[in-house]
A and B are shown apart, each in its own frame.
Chain A
Amino acid sequence: MDSDEDERIPFSQRAEWSDVKPVSQDDGPNPVVPIAYTDDFRETMDYFRAVYQSDERTHRSLALTEEAIDMNAGNYTVWHFRRLILETLNADLHNELDFIERIAKSNSKNYQIWHHRRWVAEKLGTKATELELDFTRKVLSLDAKHYHAWSHRQWSLQVLGGWEEELDYCGKLIEEDIFNNSAWNQRYFVITRSPLLGGLQAMRESEVRYTVEAILANPDNESPWRYLRGLYKGDTSLLLSDPQVVSVCLKVLSTSMNCVFALSLLLDLLCLGFQPDQEFKSVVESLRTSDSATPDSNLAKTVCSVLERVDSLRSNYWAWRKNNLPSPAVQS
């Protein structure tokens, strides 16, 4: 895997390990789910078991855990023992952050690494604030939707702070990939939880403008539509009364044809009692195919019918919506 693999000296040939008797994996006589091992791995783990069982917490056993982790970063018992050793040796945890970063390069989807990172960062406290933002930014630059990285970043902001540039960071990621749902989720996290911004109420207007722009750029993008609804946090009267909401809906329907998300939002607005004007009615009417049955006088029902056709994968869902329209929607 790495360049000095050819030069690896077996533990049995290392003078500094000559006093240790390796302990082999006890699979029992007829293992249930026996695992096949490479020789190097087997030997490394045999030596690990020896120091683990004798509870040897020294620099050489620390180095051994590093070798074991290099071979298999998922082995949580090795990480567990490594933590015990680090505590006993009172090791410099800044070095540990570097170690984790190195391992994460090839194993970033591994829970143990992230958990270990969090343990170290928690111990370092605010000394780690910038380091954690930096580390997660690096991982996210390789995979901008990395669930663990986002989870760690959220934890880090809440426990260690560092909110100053987070909104800008979200903006940058959204600019790089407007479809990045994780970035939109983080944006919501920031505007609702950052101690530096005024909270959802204060941020709402500018965020609505921002979101509308994103929607118009890519109307088939699920994330900003959901984000838009989120900005009204269950306050339906606010959602209904904001002209920007109705206007983006109309704009998309007039120019994009068959936009599922715009139709879906329109449907929800109608269900909340929205009274559409003639412009809306005409646009929806133009989406209806000419060969369908007698036109429905009810706009909400028409919207459902259009959705059944253009989002046929979810036709059962739209049919259910049509049969369950609340009274505000049924009054044309």
Chain B
Amino acid sequence: MHFNGEQQRQSIICFLVCSLKGFTMGELEVEKHAQYILSVEKRKDDFESVVMEHLRMNGAYWGLTTLDLLGKLETVDKDEIVSWVMSCQHESGGFGGNVGHDPHILYTLSAVQVLALLDKLDVLDIDKLANYIASLQNEDGSFSGDMWGEVDTRFSYIAICCLSLLHRIDKINVEKAVNYVVSCKNLDGGFGSIPGGESHAGQIFCCVGALAITGSLHHVDKDLLGWWLCERQVKSGGLNGRPEKLPDVCYSWWVLSSLIMIDRVHWINKEKVARFILDCQDKENGGISDRPDDAVDVFHTYFGVAGLSLLEYPGLKAIDPAYALPVHVVNRIFFGR
């Protein structure tokens, strides 16, 4: 870390005094972050843009969800977005990361999430999409990412989340899907990408999310996992993803959402996590980075803002920890207007 202990202590004391009344509104650069997201397209010859081309669907989900959490979604042209999203759909029903790309479960979820944000799920042939996802379930209950067969608990989460949003979860064998996820549970209470895989906060989010959505959280030892998760908090206040690794803003999402889903979020020091996220902002140009003073990107901007939303930062819309969509969107899907 680049601040010394004394500076850290002073800024913490100052912050705690303010936080008695809640966070200071001016800390999060709402306008700058919104502008950052909207302006990403204005860059030419940008290396980051070049390598993100095939996952533009993910980028759209990160960017648009962040805008909605910041209360700025009305600035985008919804019809154009919907039109572009639909042009990424393959005849199999799945979505590619961009126009002309092959379908993959990753981009299929992002497409559904983007449409859900814009309240345009009705443009979908829901059964066609659901059938595509169902076709990716394997004999042992796991899910492949696409026709090439890569298996990872991330895909279990994606399939379950996506089908649940479309009210089509009955298209898969839920019991087998749950059993597969449970088979990836480790002795420390965490979950890996495959059975025996090291517990990792990102995989834990996926597995806990999958179990939460299917009403199967009784398979989780909440006390044991809660402790593993709260051990992710390091001295600086940030969260890492595994023991002895560096903190990263994206874990603010994965660790926090997991803790919330198992009702143990009070076990971490929330003020220090919020402080860490706020310190990762580029206060001049907007955007959030993985840790203080690094380069910003849309991915970390989304996770930083989403993490702050989970911490109930004032002014942000609430986000659902399992569906990773604003609560008002999830309510609209499950409870009507």
Contact = CB atoms under 8 A, between A and B. Distances in A.
A28 B87 contact: yes
B104 A30 contact: no
A180 B49 CA distance: 34
24 contacts: A25-B53, A27-B99, A28-B80, A28-B99, A30-B80, A32-B76, A32-B77, A33-B40, A33-B56, A33-B59, A33-B60, A36-B50, A37-B45, A72-B51, A74-B54, A77-B54, A83-B148, A145-B242, A151-B197, A186-B198, A223-B243, A226-B188, A313-B272, A317-B227
A24 B196 CA distance: 44
Interface size, A (range): 35 or more
Given A38-B45, A179-B244, A320 B101 contact: no
A154 B230 contact: no
Interface stretch (B160-168, B262-270, B311-319): B262-270
A49 B98 CA distance: 13
Interface in B195-238: 196-200, 226-227, 230-231, 233, 235
| 4 A-B pairs with the lowest CB-CB distances in the bound complex, closest first | A185-B198, A317-B267, A36-B44, A181-B243
Interface residues of B, number: 63
A251 interface: no
Contacts of A147: 193, 198, 200
B196 A189 contact: yes
Given A30-B80, A145-B242, A151-B193, A35 B269 contact: no
Given A119-B148, A179-B244, A32 B102 contact: no
B81 interface: yes
B148 A222 contact: no
Contacts, number: 156
A316 interface: yes
Contacts of A243: none
B112 to A, nearest CB: 16
Contacts of B100: 25-26, 49, 52, 77
Given A75-B53, A222-B244, A316-B268, 9 more contacts: A30-B80, A72-B54, A115-B148, A147-B198, A185-B197, A188-B187, A313-B269, A314-B231, A314-B268
A38 B200 CA distance: 36
A31 B84 contact: yes
Contacts of B245: 145, 181
A186 B198 CA distance: 8
A76 interface: yes
A32 B60 contact: yes
A29 to B, nearest CB: 9
B174 interface: no
Contacts of B18: none
Interface of A: 25-28, 30-38, 41, 45, 49, 52, 71-72, 74-77, 80, 83, 111, 115, 118-119, 145, 147, 150-151, 154-155, 179-182, 185-186, 188-189, 192-193, 221-223, 226, 229-230, 233-234, 313-314, 316-317, 320
B222 to A, nearest CB: 12
A1 to B, nearest CB: 10
Interface in B144-173: 145-146, 148-150
Contacts of A115: 145, 148, 150
A51 B187 CA distance: 49
Contacts of A76: 54, 97, 101-102, 104, 146
Contacts of A192: 196
B292 interface: no
A201 to B, nearest CB: 15
Interface string B62-101: 0100000000000011001101100100000000110111
Nearest to A114: B150
Contacts of A72: 50-51, 53-54
A189 B196 CA distance: 6
A314 B233 contact: yes
Interface string B27-47: 000000000000011011111
B194 interface: yes
A230 B243 contact: no
Nearest to B114: A32
A119 B278 CA distance: 42
Given A28-B83, A83-B148, A313-B233, A74 B196 contact: no
A169 to B, nearest CB: 15
Interface string B126-146: 000000000000000000011
A35 B266 CA distance: 41
A179 B198 CA distance: 14
Listed residue (B40, B56, B196) with the most chain A CB atoms within 10 angstroms of its CB: B196
